[in-house]
Amino acid sequence: MPSEPLATSYQPLALMKFTILSLLLVSFASAARIADVTVPSNQRTNVVTGLGLVYGLKGTGDGGDFQPAIRMLAAALAKFDNAVSVVDLKAVKNVALVQLTATIPATGAREGDPIDVFVTSIGSASSLRGGRLFVSPMQFLAGKDKRILVGTAQGPIDLEDPSTQVTAVVKGGCVLDEDFPAGQIKGDSFSFFIDTPSASWTMSSNIAKIINDGEDGQPWAAAVSEKEVVVRIPPGEQQYPAGFVSRLQQLPLPLVPAEARVVINDRTGTIVVTGDVEISPCVISHKGLTISTVLPTPTPTPRAPVVKTTDVVALDTNNSGGAKLQDLINAMDQLKVPVEDRIEIIKELYKSSKLHAKLIME
């Protein structure tokens, strides 16, 4: 099987209804930057929320028995000088009460920026198909009990998943009434938070060392956990720290050896291997599947080959004390083992303490 520097992938016979991807990551120096694996503490997403009504439904709404939706509809009509009672609306079936959420990017947003709104029915509606979100206020929770009106949401409903008709999205449905800036760095320090897949004491320590070495060897940075590196801002740059932060983000970061890890997604039939995953000496027999090798006879012909078969694969045949998971994958390639069986074999190796890596099931 041919290999590439960072990954090896293969597609079994076309008749098989699966694809398995094996990523074999190797350790080497790279042009990665601190910015590629971290986020500054001032950069975070924010969520704005609201309650609204979806109208125009074809008899699939909450119905007159669901009082929260009916009361909200009555209040909306009263604002347009059309006061009605809850009793007057008892036959209404074309509206639904919904929860609204929209995410402000970590980089902030400007007045007038359109943001997608996610809509979820919280009543008895059976479907939001064909509906439209009525103009609804969107608020930001700025404190324990303080909510700030930041914009409005409205627009046509677009079902995310036709099989689940009570959740939807309004594309660009939330429009901000004012700027929502990204967080400011305040004080004389900030933190770099390391992305979870890359977080480790080795990574945080390396980042702190690279920052200190890059800033004249001064102890500006310290690793305080696997995920966080605290950085002090030099006095001369505290008033406008953006340049200092940007300079640190561009520092080159040699990649550290990846953690030995096997990630399996049963639904998609994907196996991802990172780091140097080893297997203790073992023999794996897979029922009903064989390796076939055609050996030429003294006078070989296509019609008269000699076929040698086996359904047992031995790992660590050189008695070196173990084998790589890639050895097993290569053997399963030869056996043409279906993806679901590959996953079961890896699970059994893990259960029997023969697989020396973290196993993560998704």
Q: What pLDDT digit, counting tens, does each position of 143-194 carry?
A: 667 788 889 999 999 998 888 899 999 999 999 988 877 667 778 899 999 9
DSSP character at residue 201: H
Q: What is the mean pLDDT of residues 221-245?
A: 91
pLDDT at 45: 82
pLDDT band per the 50, 70, 90 thresholds, residue 32 = confident
Q: What is the mean pLDDT of residues 309-316?
A: 54
H/E stretch holding 274 reads: strand 270-274
**Inter-axis angle of helices 339-351 and 325-335, to 10 degrees?**
140
pLDDT at 84: 84
CA-angle at 34, arms to 271 and 253, nearest 5°: 80
pLDDT at 50: 94
Average pLDDT, the chain: 79
Q: What are phi and psi of 28, to 5 degrees?
A: -160, 160
Strands 306-310 and 261-265: unpaired
pLDDT greater at residue 187 or residue 252: 252
User: Are the beta carbons of 208 and 221 closer than 8 angstroms?
Assistant: yes
Q: Tell me, rounded to whole angstroms, the distance of Cα 205 from its chain centroid.
A: 25
Report the C-alpha gap between 181 and 190 in whole angstroms: 18
Give the bridge partners for 261, in sequence order: 274, 358
Residue 284: name the closest of 232, 352, 217 by CA.
352
Maximal C-alpha separation, the chain: 100
Given its phi and psi angles, is residue 245 left (phi above 0), alpha (psi -120 to 50 degrees) or beta? alpha
Report the C-alpha gap between 244 and 248 in whole angstroms: 6
* pLDDT at residue 14 greater than cutoff 80: no
* pLDDT at residue 49 greater than cutoff 80: yes
Q: HSE of 272 in the Cβ direction (CA atoms, 13 Å)?
A: 13
CA distances from 199 to 24, 136, 152 (A): 19, 40, 38
pLDDT at 12: 39
Residue 189: name the closest of 243, 230, 240, 248 by CA.
230
Q: What is the mean pLDDT of residues 289-303?
A: 55
pLDDT at 55: 94
Highest mean pLDDT among 8-22, 64-78, 164-178 belongs to: 164-178
Residue 226: name the closest of 187, 186, 262, 256 by CA.
256
